[in-house]
Amino acid sequence: MDNNEFEQLSSLWQSSEEKTMPHMDKLLKRHKRQSFILKINILIELAAILAVSYMFILSFFQNMSLIKQLWVGFATVWGMSLFVLMSKSRLSSLKHLKSAQLSTSLEAHRRLIKNEIFRWSLSIKATWLFMFAFTVFGITKCYFTSCTGNEGTQFAISFIVLSVAQAFFIRKNKTAKVVLHTLEE
Amino acid sequence: MVTFTKDSKKEAIIAQYWPQISRAASGYECRPALSDELAQEMALSIWRSLDGFNKQCSLNTYIYRVIHNTAIDHIRRHSRLSEDEFDEATACEQASPETSALQAQRQKQLLNAVNKLPLSLRQVMLLKLEDLTNVEISDVLGISDANVGIRLHRAKEQLSKLLVGIN
């Protein structure tokens, strides 16, 4: 391709039709709304952790069976560890997002996507662990105490929900890795 | 640091660069709805970044840097298509029988070809198509002049092949 041909391409490119320019005030409002939703999500997660912790503490006073106590204990430790690790990674991402670097440096994007991959991998491992513990809990409960049909259905539904969530996490993780590869190509 | 305290001043800058923003969005994102969204993201990023402009480079270079990094951010968050799916998506964008104007058809062909370039080559190509010099491109992308030259050479080669393929 010689210079003349490229100049023709360049003028062809620059003559393409423009998109409609957005109203900046509406755009800024939408951005603020997104930040608000992000904060609400963090609050919901925190509330869920607190609720499980409360149940765990309550289980000591309510003479819950050992199996149930172990289960609630596991859920509390699992939730807290996940929340702390996730929040740490999120904070690191938020730092990059707040700095001007994101608009000016490709390296900042790489770090962000690596953080995202870490969070998805963590979610995958945590969900495997949760599914394993959930299965152990279900089997133990049915083995030592009686299991009704209703409980069996609840167990199956919970397992399906967890499997769907796991499939979602695996897909997200795979996509994030593809994006990192694209950024590094 | 230069402060763009007045919103009207920022809006004027965005209006001035809107054609470039619009074209860059199309160059990075072939799906029309997402392309519009990307253009809006770019405008918003420029708005938010203008206060951080410290005259270390020209405003032109700074704005292009913000535009192209926003595109990378968009790819990070929205790249959900594999290469095969991508080809299918772009195939939908091929000139339709209703497209009467030859100019519009050629623009679409060029856009499709640019969309198919690997990211590293697409970045330099999009900036070169906007008539930036190699030095300016190296400033925008933070790579050496020599690297720009190499990428540009490869990008031109691949673009030629893609355009021949389309034609």
Q: Is residue B112 part of a domain?
A: yes
Supply the pLDDT for residue A48: 83
Q: Which pLDDT tens digit goes with each residue over A103-122?
A: 556 666 777 778 888 888 98
- B140 with B90, same domain: the answer is no
* Domain of residue B166, residue span: 99-167
**Domain boundaries in chain A?**
23-99+106-184
The answer to whether B52 and B1 have CB atoms below 8 angstroms apart is: yes
Q: Which pLDDT tens digit goes with each residue over A76-97?
A: 888 888 888 777 777 776 666 6
For residue B117, what is the domain's CATH number? 1.10.10.10
Compute the distance between CA of residue B14 and CA of residue A132 in angstroms, rounded to an integer: 53
Q: Find the residue in A nearest to B71 (Cα).
A: A103
The answer to whether A54 and B63 have CB atoms below 8 angstroms apart is: no
Q: Among A8, A19, A38, pick the best mutation site for testing chain B contact (most B Cβ within 10 A).
A: A19
Of A1, A10, A21, Cβ closest to residue B129: A10
Minimum distance, in Å, between the CA of residue A160 and any CA atom of chain B: 25
Chain B residue numbers with beta carbons less than 8 Å from the beta carbon of A185 are: 118-120
The answer to whether A82 and A126 have CB atoms below 8 angstroms apart is: yes
pTM of the model: 0.61
pLDDT (average), residues B91-120: 72
Q: Which pLDDT tens digit goes with each residue over A139-184?
A: 887 887 777 788 788 888 888 888 888 898 898 888 888 877 776 6
Chain A residue numbers with beta carbons less than 8 Å from the beta carbon of B62 are: 104
- B62 with B120, same domain: the answer is no
A103 touches chain B (CB under 8 A): yes
Question: Where does a domain end: B30, B60, B94?
Answer: B94
Supply the pLDDT for residue A99: 58
A154 touches chain B (CB under 8 A): no
Q: Is residue B68 part of a domain?
A: yes
Q: Is residue B60 part of a domain?
A: yes
Q: Find the residue in B nearest to A14 (Cα).
A: B130
Q: Which pLDDT tens digit goes with each residue over B71-101?
A: 887 877 765 443 334 444 444 444 444 545 6
- B119 with B145, same domain: the answer is yes
Q: Is residue B44 part of a domain?
A: yes
ipTM score: 0.75
Question: Where does a domain end: B60, B77, B94?
Answer: B94
Supply the pLDDT for residue B95: 44
Residue B131, SS3 per DSSP: coil
Q: Is residue B1 part of a domain?
A: no
Share of chain A above pLDDT 90, in %: 2
Supply the pLDDT for residue B125: 92
- B75 with B14, same domain: the answer is yes
- B17 with B72, same domain: the answer is yes
